Amino acid sequence: MVLDAASIDRLTAEARILAEQARAAELAAAAGRTAEARAVLATAQADLDSAVALEETAGVITVERRREVDAARRRIAGIAADAYMRVGTDRDDLLSRLRVGTGGTDPGYVDAQNTRIFADQALRATRADLARGEEQLRVAEAEERAAERSVEDRRVVADQRQGAVVALEAAEAAVRDRPIEVEVTANVASLLEATGPTILGDSLVGAEDMAAFVRARGRPHPTVDVEELALAFVDEGGAEGVRADLAWVQSILETGWFSFANSMVYPGDHNYAGVGACDSCSRGFIFDTPQLGARAQMQLLKAYADPTTTAASLARPSVLRPPERLSVRGCCSTWMALAGVWATNREYGVKILTLYDELLRFSAQRRSAAPVPPPA
């Protein structure tokens, strides 16, 4: 196959678009992982803040309980000192008793006894308050220690979550800053070795852009509803796992942009890929509806690409000969390999990929020109 600079440039441009789309998808995935990690970090930080608040409250309670215990101890000391000043020592009490016993009178003894009684009662009550206060202090100190451990544990978790966010942000930045490199040699090899995009896979272009591409570049026959047909291609291609956007490009080539000018098939045949048409044939196959025409094309492409395809393995009822009875089953996994098999033109695959590059460019420009919706 003879290669020229234009062919190489076209495939290189296509490869760059695919590489950019792949990086965009990778960047979106990385951004998603970073966002999830930030959400987890926010939860961990909220838990830490809550634990810190509980620790501060526990500390305030402990200080208050300690103040109450100290106050009770001071009251006990004050009551004892006051009783001593009013009653005196045990020796003074004994002397007063002796004097009263020998018939003497000591009015101070009676006052001292009353003071002692009152002091004993006050001491018992205050000691009970002190015991309760000390127990409450022990509980408060235990709760404060537990709150401190909780803060430490949650700070460790928050630090780990922060580290994960930093690492994911770095990975996201690496993807964003990584230059896109397109290997020209690989593109040349794809032409020479009949590689390139596979027939099976996901479409990159949606039905709306596919139809708009035809409307903008070609002149479809008035009876062909390209918007409805593009939806049928996406539907049937998705069902069988065939790249509907590339099959659409194949049909553009086969039908002359769906004009059917100088074609062996007619618009009413709903045959969009020359199925059944050949150099020695007078006419191709005829299908009842556009949907069935799109289905026939997708099922035949799947049979070409997958050697295990059978009528039973198709997603929908077969509209052609059972795939297991086709001699070409499994012959071509890529669009480049269709050259000389689906069509006699040896440049068939190159033409498909060249036009597909134009479709990708059109779709990208159309999306970039679309108005940006206002933020919600």
Q: What's the total number of domains in the chain?
A: 2
Residue 182 lies inside a defined structural domain of this protein: no
Dihedral (Cα; 232, 235, 239, 240), 10-degree rounding:
50
Sequential DSSP letters for 129-159: HHHHHHHHHHHHHHHHHHHHHHHHHHHHHHH
The answer to whether 244 touches 233, Cβ cutoff 8 Å, is: yes
Residues 153 and 64 in one domain: yes
Q: pTM for the complete prediction?
A: 0.50
Residues 115 and 235 in one domain: no
Per-residue pLDDT of the chain (376 residues; tens, 9 = 90+): 334 445 556 666 777 787 888 889 999 999 999 999 999 999 999 999 999 999 999 999 999 999 999 998 888 888 777 766 665 544 445 444 444 444 444 444 445 566 667 667 877 888 888 899 899 999 989 999 999 999 999 999 999 999 999 999 999 999 898 887 665 444 544 544 445 678 998 888 899 999 999 999 999 999 999 999 999 999 999 999 999 999 999 999 999 999 998 888 899 999 999 888 766 566 789 999 999 999 999 999 999 999 999 999 999 999 999 999 999 999 999 888 898 899 888 888 888 888 888 888 888 888 766 665 665 5
Long-range Cβ contact pairs of 9-15 (< 8 A, separation 24 or more): 10/353, 10/354, 10/357, 11/187, 11/188, 11/190, 11/191, 11/196, 11/353, 11/357, 12/182, 12/184, 12/187, 13/357, 13/361, 14/353, 14/356, 14/357, 14/360, 15/182, 15/183, 15/186, 15/187
**Which pLDDT score, from 0 to 100, does residue 18 have?**
79
Residues 152 and 9 in one domain: yes
- Structural domain harbouring 40: 5-177
Tell which residue, 84, 216, 18, 70, has the closest CA to residue 10.
Answer: 18
Distance CA 126, CA 301 (A): 97
Residues 55 and 160 in one domain: yes
State how far the alpha carbon of 320 is from the alpha carbons of 123, 242, 283, 294, 298, in Å: 107, 17, 16, 12, 11
Q: For position 52, which CATH number holds?
A: 1.10.287.620
Residues 219 and 173 in one domain: no
Residues 123 and 217 in one domain: no
Residue 376 lies inside a defined structural domain of this protein: no
Distance CA 281, CA 250 (A): 20
The answer to whether 73 touches 124, Cβ cutoff 8 Å, is: no
Residues 209 and 146 in one domain: no
Residue 185 lies inside a defined structural domain of this protein: no
Residue 105 lies inside a defined structural domain of this protein: yes
Of the residues 177, 211, 226, the one at which a domain ends: 177
Of the residues 142, 177, 212, the one at which a domain ends: 177
**Which pLDDT score, from 0 to 100, does residue 2 have?**
38
Residues 172 and 236 in one domain: no
**Which pLDDT score, from 0 to 100, does residue 183 have?**
54
